[in-house]
């Protein structure tokens, strides 16, 4: 996809709200027709089972799969959320370059992946008359790479999803331009039309469920839970790494800077146990101005493991374990030229 620039204004909000409401109303009328269509579906299934022997010729051979790969590249795109005509405030989302690839199989149980790399993603909130680099909020991600893989597993085996993300983040905040944030919230969020009531609350029959229906639903839930226990578990593993995080905040009386290098998060869960491992590298906070000082932490390692009450293994009596390992922590706080706090 070639370079593009698009602008959205608050007048587009009623369109999306009306679209969601139409889907809700369509879904609300759907259960009324389900009872009439059930008999037709049953008849179609019976007819299909009768003619199944005549259709085996055109059915795909066992084990045959179709492998599908799709690639997409998007360069130099920009999306602006404008507050016009109420204000000159706007939000810019800029995208320098990005490539995506997806691979999946149709008709077979094989690995499916979605991967991509993005560079030069920035988002800024400011006024049109503001100087360049003086946005209220500005954030960016550099050299972002991600991958999501799904493994269906063999028959009776465990399914799994893995997520990998690696990037570098930066951001800044200016208090003297905070009016742009207030304007954007009032124009795009507070002033947006409200959605209709949720579907469950919109149906009187569902809102006034009798005790008998509640008992039946509870029994069905119990059966569903038993079936869920018999199904293969879904394993989820994720690794997220932020190489560096830089954040600047200018709040008039002081200007603070946060630097973290790096942050690594590892988590794995299979429905019975969940383990989380968080490692934070060197963290530095420096402030200059009327309130100044510094704070430095060498490292912070956090580990936790939680076992679900539905776990089938009874060999581990521990339900929750947690450990925190922190390095040296040093800091100073000055009010003007007076050192009011010092610790190490």
- pLDDT tens digits along 7-24: 988 888 878 777 777 877
pLDDT(211) > 50: no
Alpha carbon 200 to its chain's center: 25
Could you tell me what percent of the chain has a pLDDT over 70? 72
If you average pLDDT over residues 182-198, what whole number do you get?
A: 74
If you average pLDDT over residues 241-260, what whole number do you get?
A: 94
If you average pLDDT over residues 139-151, what whole number do you get?
A: 92
Across all residues in the chain, what is the average pLDDT? Answer: 78
Could you tell me what percent of the chain has a pLDDT over 90? 38
Q: Is-contact 210 286, C-beta < 8 A?
A: no
Q: Is-contact 142 125, C-beta < 8 A?
A: no
Chain length of the chain = 344
How does DSSP assign 264-324, residue by residue?
Answer: EEEEEE-SSEEEEEEEEEEEEEEEEESEEEEEEE--EEEEEEEE-TT-S--S---SEEEEE
The whole-number pLDDT of residue 50 equals: 39
Cα distance between residue 82 and residue 27, in whole Å:
33
Q: 42-56, 103-117, 138-152, 159-173 — which is least confidently predicted?
A: 42-56
pTM to 2 decimal places? 0.70
The whole-number pLDDT of residue 202 equals: 38
Alpha carbon dihedral 123, 127, 133, 137, in 10-degree steps, equals: -40
How does DSSP assign 93-110, residue by residue?
Answer: EEEEEEEEEEEEEESS--
pLDDT(311) > 80: no
Q: Which of 124-133, 222-231, 289-298 has the highest mean pLDDT?
A: 289-298
């Amino acid at each position: 996809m070639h370079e593009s620039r698009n602008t959205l204004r608050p007048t587009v909000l009623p369109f999306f709200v009306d679209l969601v409401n139409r889907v809700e109303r369509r879904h609300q009328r759907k259960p009324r027709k389900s009872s009439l269509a059930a008999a037709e579906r049953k008849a179609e299934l019976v007819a299909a089972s009768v003619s199944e022997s005549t259709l085996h010729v055109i059915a795909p051979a066992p084990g045959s799969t179709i492998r599908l790969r799709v690639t997409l590249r998007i360069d130099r795109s920009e999306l602006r959320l404008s507050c016009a005509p109420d204000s000159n405030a706007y939000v810019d989302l800029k995208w320098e370059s990005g490539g995506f690839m997806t691979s999946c199989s149709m008709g077979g149980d094989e690995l499916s992946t979605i991967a991509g790399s993005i560079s030069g993603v920035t988002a800024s909130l400011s006024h049109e008359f503001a100087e360049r680099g003086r946005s209220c909020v500005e954030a960016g991600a550099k050299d972002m790479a991600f991958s999501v893989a799904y493994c269906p597993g063999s028959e009776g085996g465990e399914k799994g999803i893995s997520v990998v993300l690696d990037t570098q983040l930066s951001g800044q905040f200016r208090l003297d331009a905070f009016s742009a944030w207030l304007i954007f919230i009032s124009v795009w969020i507070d002033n947006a039309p409200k959605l209709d009531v949720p579907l469950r609350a919109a149906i009187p029959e569902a809102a006034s469920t009798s005790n008998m229906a509640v008992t039946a639903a509870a029994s069905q839930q119990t059966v569903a839970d038993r079936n869920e226990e018999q199904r293969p578990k879904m394993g989820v593993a994720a690794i997220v790494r932020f190489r560096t995080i830089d954040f600047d905040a200018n709040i008039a009386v002081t200007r603070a800077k946060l630097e973290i290098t790096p942050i690594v998060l590892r988590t794995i869960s299979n429905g019975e146990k969940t383990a989380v491992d968080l490692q934070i590298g060197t963290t530095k906070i420096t402030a200059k101005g009327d309130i100044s000082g510094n704070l430095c932490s060498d490292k912070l390692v956090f580990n936790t493991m939680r076992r679900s009450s539905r776990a089938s293994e009874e060999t581990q009596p521990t339900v929750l374990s947690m450990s925190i390992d922190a390095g040296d922590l040093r800091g100073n706080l000055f009010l003007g030229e007076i050192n009011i706090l010092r610790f190490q």
